[in-house]
Structure 1
């Protein structure tokens, strides 16, 4: 199971329930058999029934079953995002943890002046209609920087990302001899936009 359903427990909840578990000695199967056979009375059955029903409910949980059969990946285990190529854990995989920067054509076009400064426009290669404007050539004073190309959760599921691979800013994993992806994490930094050129304009260019 690549990703457990739901979100990981917060640190507070983990500590709370660990303390509760430590407060009680959880009986084994043999202890329950012995208790029911030799010690339990009819006044104890209600508590025993509640315990057995609770154990049954726990055993039916998808996450618990996946843990027992070894198909679940712990929240704390490091994974590799097949979209932005960042390392992550499910414990830190929030709704906006994965952010991919737009890739702009490095050839800017003069579009006019603002406050006596020449304005250059860079067109995004990944998303039609998205542009980046720079006030003053090579000044790195960017105007109204667009939001990231992608913002969402990290994933290890290639099928989810498949249709967005473009060989520019969202590229498939490139594996070394050990099977480890060697692509650099595509960081979304609004202060330092990613300037590149189309792969067909120069062999080996872009992020493909």
Structure 2
């Protein structure tokens, strides 16, 4: 009886051994350079897009995504650009110093929210809000110094509103309430699409 129990326990341990070995496999290091805002308009665009790209990448257990502050400090120390598309040699040098396997960099080419419609007597005010977010990116494989992917993401979302619109769209939006706004929802969708395109190349 005891022998049977021992054999079962041994077989179970052996079956679990490969899974444990796989769980201990080293994660790929990813360095995310701040996304350059080429659209203008809202000053926190670079921050909110970059932070959300990092957060979405961190949902992948096989990746070790470096903190944004650490990457920015390394870029400043190396005296290279801190956002947008870096020269591959500069990006490779900084990534190696941080022990990163890949560099993700990009640009926000469109980041806008437009209102159409107006007010009529008795009927009142009605607007259609259209938010558009476009992202362009590059993924650098550090070991070879080659760009392995140039992903793009384009999202447009619309909703109706009966509230009165006054002034530029960003006047009522802050970092704290961003995700609940239409432009925030479009950004989250664009980031998710962008990261889903990037993840297969980070292996």
The answer to whether TM tops 0.5 is: no
TM-score, scaled relative to structure 1: 0.25
Larger fraction in strand: 2
TM-score, scaled relative to structure 2: 0.26
Larger fraction in helix: 2
